[in-house]
Amino acid sequence: MSTTTDAKTTAAKAPAVTGTPSALQSEHGSTRIAETVVSKIAGLAAREVNGIYALGGGAARAFGALRERIPGGTTNASQGVSVEVGEKQAAVDINVVVEYGVSIADLAKAVRRNVISALERMTGLEVVEVNISVDDVHLPSDDDHEDAKETKRIDTPSRVA
């Protein structure tokens, strides 16, 4: 019985095996990458794919459009992207609006490929999943309606002096 007890004690004292070492950890220290960094990289990589009209749900896009109109306002690169980042791995969720006529299945593959490639190359993190939610389809006629609204606002005379 003492051999079983010794084996259990030895197993308890042995360090846990964590798998392959990460590019972010070395004997000289470790590197931690913030979720905001990962979400920005993922958002920019997703926007590079042809067929993506915008990222984010309706409310996020409306808030983003408002932010861009404010003087000095910038585009939020991580809009529509949420991530979970661990020591070695990352998971990404992306909400997209696609252009009408684009194959959504092919577009999703291209977005996954681009996001995984960019994140693994730039951060050294292993991307375990990229989940894509298609929230809307952008129709070419939507642009015509927006142009008409802008023209109408400009042409309407002010009622105040």
- By residue count, the chain amounts to 161
- Calculate the CA dihedral of residues 70, 46, 118, 31 and round it to 10 degrees: 50
Task: Report residue 136 as tokens.
Answer: 């809307």
Residue 90's DSSP bridge partners are 85, 127
Taking the C-alpha atoms of residue 43 and residue 56, their distance in angstroms, rounded to an integer, is 10
Tell me the pLDDT band of 21, cut-offs 50, 70 and 90: low
The predicted pLDDT at position 9 comes to 46
The predicted pLDDT at position 153 comes to 45
- pLDDT tens digit string along 58-94? 655 555 555 556 666 656 788 899 999 999 999 999 9
The pLDDT of residue 31 is above 70: yes
Tell me the pLDDT band of 8, cut-offs 50, 70 and 90: very low
Taking the C-alpha atoms of residue 126 and residue 88, their distance in angstroms, rounded to an integer, is 6
State mean pLDDT over 97-116.
97
Q: Exposed, middle or buried: residue 39 (CB in 10 Å: 0-12, 13-18, 19+)?
A: buried
